[in-house]
């Protein structure tokens, strides 16, 4: 333990990472660098600076990573229509690789030999942080206090905090444990408390980003999303930066009660866990992206993407963003998006995102002259279908013939 000289801590300024900060100073007797990122979680960051200073931290990094987060992580992931286990849009998973990257960069810049984070030993986030860190710096040391210390209950943690003069807000003291939450520009998640019983419905006051469909406006709203190379670039004709666009989608989606999810998922560490998620903008993006692909992607390209998507989703969920296999898949996914240009119209109403129109001036593969039920003037020769069916059936017919003979 004595070997660590300086450690970069992913520091939110909250109770848990404040306790960690103090604990690292006490136990490892080493210098601490704090790193606090704005990835759209919607919290003030300056208090984190003040708190870190009070602990005597001299190197304090506070970064606005919102654009990078959406542009280089969220959007590339959505190019694949990524969903984990049929439901989850990977809001937490996709933020971790960026944090890991910055931790390693800051360790390099500050000549730190270790990093530390506040993820527990039961969850996926420890894996995501650490796989990323090791992939980017094979010699980095990692301190995961939750796997080392004995503060394994809420009570012990609070006791430690009070004992070491770490301010504890009232909300932490009252009632039982709070939900374990995580937020960024893509989503907010909830775990723990009542959710530990998967048979029970979440309490309505848990949700923070969206109104319930019941409380959403009675009037539907239409929204045009414009795509370029598979990424959304404009809303209702207005060009927006990546982060601004997602923030605006969150605002509109949240207003219409869109993007709530209640899920039991399989963690990489081997257990099932129940989580609730709000992903208003992402829910709109997934629908819209599939719609723009529906007219611009070749059928077999789309099908191949669909078959590989679950694996790509697992890679991100499991923390392998910085792996060569994820990069290899990304190369292919990105290649597929060159023609994914055009616009999609969605209707938003009380929790529903409905695609009602889509077009691409430059890349549509929809050929009305062929698909029509009216006279197509020879564009398609229906007689071709006979041969098509006959040869596709040949192996089935041969098998049936021999089967009959064998009887």
Binding-site sequence positions: 10-18, 37, 88, 93, 118, 120, 124-125, 128, 180, 189, 265, 277
Say whether residue 391 binds a second copy (CB under 8 A). yes
Pairing of strands 260-266, 238-239: unpaired
154 is catalytic: no
153 is catalytic: no
- Which among 271, 273, 223 is positioned nearest to 251, based on CA atoms? 223
Say whether residue 299 binds a second copy (CB under 8 A). yes
Say whether residue 321 binds a second copy (CB under 8 A). no
- Restricting to residues 126-145, which ones interact with a second copy according to CB under 8 A? 126-127, 130-131, 134-139, 144
In the beta sheet, which residues pair with residue 228? 231
Return the number of the residue (41 or 120) whose C-beta is nearest a second copy: 120
CB of 331 to a second copy, least distance (A): 4
Say whether residue 174 binds a second copy (CB under 8 A). no
Return the number of the residue (55 or 137) whose C-beta is nearest a second copy: 137
Say whether residue 64 binds a second copy (CB under 8 A). no
Say whether residue 14 binds a second copy (CB under 8 A). no
> Is the distance from CB of 246 to CB of 74 less than 8 angstroms?
yes
> Binding segment for a second copy among 12-20, 56-64, 108-116, 212-220 (CB under 8 A)?
212-220
Say whether residue 221 binds a second copy (CB under 8 A). no
CA distances from 223 to 230, 241, 281, 351, 357 (A): 17, 17, 12, 14, 10
**DSSP string for 230-293:** TEEEEETTEE--HHHHHHHHHHHHHHTT--EEEEEEE-TTS-EEEEEEE-HHHHHHHHHHHHHH
Return the number of the residue (220 or 240) whose C-beta is nearest a second copy: 220
Structural element, H or E, at residue 114: strand 114-116
d(CA 259, CA 261): 6
Say whether residue 302 binds a second copy (CB under 8 A). yes
> Is the distance from CB of 67 to CB of 42 less than 8 angstroms?
no
CB of 295 to a second copy, least distance (A): 5
> Is the distance from CB of 177 to CB of 152 less than 8 angstroms?
no
Residue from 47, 56, 121, 217 that binds a second copy (CB under 8 A)? 121
Return the number of the residue (15 or 52) whose C-beta is nearest a second copy: 15
Pairing of strands 352-359, 342-349: antiparallel
Say whether residue 331 binds a second copy (CB under 8 A). yes
CB of 290 to a second copy, least distance (A): 5
CA distances from 140 to 26, 124, 252, 291 (A): 21, 20, 42, 43
Residues taking part in catalysis: 16, 96, 125, 180
């Amino acid at each position: 333990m004595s070997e660590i000289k300086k450690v970069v801590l992913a520091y939110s300024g909250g109770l848990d990472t404040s306790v960690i900060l103090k604990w690292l100073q006490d136990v490892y007797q080493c210098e601490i660098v704090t790193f606090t990122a704005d990835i759209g979680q919607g919290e003030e960051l300056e208090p984190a600076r003040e708190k870190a200073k009070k602990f005597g931290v001299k190197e304090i990094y506070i970064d606005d990573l919102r654009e990078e987060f959406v542009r280089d992580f969220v959007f590339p992931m959505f190019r694949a229509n990524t969903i984990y286990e049929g439901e989850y849009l990977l809001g937490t998973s996709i933020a971790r690789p960026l944090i890991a990257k910055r931790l390693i960069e800051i360790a390099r810049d500050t000549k730190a030999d270790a990093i530390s984070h506040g993820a527990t030993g039961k969850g996926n986030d420890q894996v995501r942080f650490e796989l990323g860190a090791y992939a980017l710096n094979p010699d980095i040391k990692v301190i995961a206090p939750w796997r080392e210390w004995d503060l394994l209950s809420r009570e012990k943690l609070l006791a430690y905090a009070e004992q070491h003069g770490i301010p504890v807000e009232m909300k932490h003291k009252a009632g039982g444990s709070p939900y374990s939450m995580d937020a960024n520009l893509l989503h907010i998640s909830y775990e723990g408390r009542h959710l530990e019983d998967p048979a029970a419905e979440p309490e309505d006051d848990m949700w923070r980003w969206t109104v319930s469909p019941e409380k959403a406006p009675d009037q539907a709203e239409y929204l045009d999303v414009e795509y370029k190379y598979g990424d959304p670039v404009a809303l209702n004709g207005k060009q927006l930066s990546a982060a601004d666009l997602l923030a605006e989608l969150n605002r509109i989606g949240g207003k219409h009660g869109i993007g709530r999810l209640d899920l039991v998922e399989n963690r990489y560490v081997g257990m099932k866990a129940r989580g609730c998620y709000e992903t208003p903008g992402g829910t709109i993006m997934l629908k819209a992206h599939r719609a723009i692909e529906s007219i611009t992607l070749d059928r077999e390209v789309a099908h191949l993407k669909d078959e590989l998507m679950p694996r790509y989703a697992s890679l991100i969920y499991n923390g392998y963003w910085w792996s060569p296999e994820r990069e290899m898949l990304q190369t292919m996914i990105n290649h597929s998006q060159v023609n994914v240009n055009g616009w999609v119209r969605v209707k938003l109403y009380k929790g529903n995102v409905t695609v009602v129109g889509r077009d691409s001036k430059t890349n549509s593969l929809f050929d009305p002259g062929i698909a029509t039920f009216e006279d197509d003037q020879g564009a398609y020769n229906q007689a071709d279908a006979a041969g098509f069916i006959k040869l596709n059936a040949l192996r089935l017919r041969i098998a049936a013939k021999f089967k009959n003979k064998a009887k």
